[in-house]
Amino acid sequence: MSVVEHSRRGEVTVRDLSKSFALNGQRLDVLRDLQLEVRGGEALAIVGPSGCGKTTLLRVLAGLEQPDRGEILIDGHPVQGVGTERAIIFQEPRLLPWLTVLGNVAFGLTVRGLPADRAEARARHYIRLVGLAAFEKAYPRQLSGGMAQRVGIARALTVQPGILLLDEPLGALDAMTKLTMQEELARIWREEKVTMILVTHDLEEAIFLADRVLMLPNERGSQPRLIDIRLPRPRDRSEPDFVAMRRRLMAEFGLH
């Protein structure tokens, strides 16, 4: 089985990115001249109040939306639209109900024309990685929310992207499942050595997973801020430094 990673760096550069929407005939600037450098293999969390454009930024990075101005470079090359070096995990698992877990995880590869047996061999590896080996033949309707989301994660990993884009991937899960899945994500990120860009509204999740946190402001005037999370891994939510970091981030949002 070839699961050996090819040379991938997964560096993302965002240059002068602007994006606006027309809302009731008014122009609404969601992103304005955004600059961002994401190192290869880094975990970056994007946080901010709702409407700050964090999901828009992720969708532009994914190639699902076109920016008004500016460009995205991956490993130094400008990109347009979707690409094989990026994979997206959505808030909803978005599984195809007529395919089994195996079929869903292999979907990304079979779509690209890989023969089914090879695609399934690689899919099995990632199904094991997310701990669903016993559910290979199950259909999405038979899975719980957390299990379905794991399938979505395995499907994204199976195409072996250099960059994993996550749009509030744990936002719809219950609190208990969420904690387990955060640890799963931390482990997967460590093992797969991918660049991870994660949109979340959960500050604790951002601190738990990310090397840096990008805070997008609500008011259009203020600037986005980048905050380093220099905490040892694996991280412990009850550690004083962790708690202090959470307090600091909450203060940034004026929550304390």
Partner 1 sequence: MTYQGLDSSVPVPVNVAPGAAILRRGAVRAGAALRRYGLLAGFLAAWQIGATGGWINPTVFPPLDAILAALLQGLSGGALIDDIAISLQRSGLAFAAAVAIGIPLGLFMGQIRAVEQALDPILQFFRQTSALALYPVFILLLGLGEASKVFVIFWATLFPILLATIGGVKEVDRKLIEMAATFGAGRATIFRRVVLPASVPSIFVGLRLSATTALLLLIAAEMIGANKGLGFQVMNAQYNFQIPQMFAAILLLALLGLTANAALVALQRRLCRWAELSSR
Interaction site with partner 1 (CB under 8 A): 62-64, 82-84, 86-88, 90, 92, 94, 96-99, 107-108, 110-112, 139-142, 159
Q: How far is the CB of 152 from partner 1 (least distance, A)?
A: 9
Number of neighbours of residue 251 by Cβ within 10 angstroms: 10
Q: How far is the CB of 175 from partner 1 (least distance, A)?
A: 21
d(CA 65, CA 93) in angstroms, rounded, equals: 20
Spatial separation of the C-alpha atoms in residues 107 and 166, rounded to whole Å: 18
Cβ contacts of 255 within 8 Å, gap of 6 or more: none
Shortest Cβ 63–partner 1 spacing (Å): 8
- Strand-pairing partners, residue 226, are 214
What single-letter amino acid sits at 242?
F
Q: Considering beta carbons, is residue 19 or 86 the nearer one to partner 1?
A: 86
97 vs 221 by CB, closer to partner 1: 97
Report the sign of the C-alpha dihedral through residues 253, 31, 55, 191, in that order. negative
For residues 41 and 200, give the distance between their C-alpha atoms in angstroms, rounded to a whole number. 19
Check: CB of residue 18 under 8 Å from CB of residue 11: no
Q: Considering beta carbons, is residue 149 or 249 the nearer one to partner 1?
A: 149
**Least distance from C-beta 235 to partner 1, angstroms?**
29
Residue closer to partner 1, measured from CB, 93 or 224: 93
Nearer residue to partner 1 within complex by CB, 196 or 207: 196
Minimum distance between the CB of residue 95 and partner 1, rounded to whole angstroms?
8
For residues 117 and 98, what is the distance between their CA atoms, to the nearest angstrom?
19
* Contact predicate 198/210, CB 8 Å: yes
What is the token pair recorded at 134?
A: 């016993």
Q: Which is nearer to partner 1, 64 or 179 (CB)?
A: 64
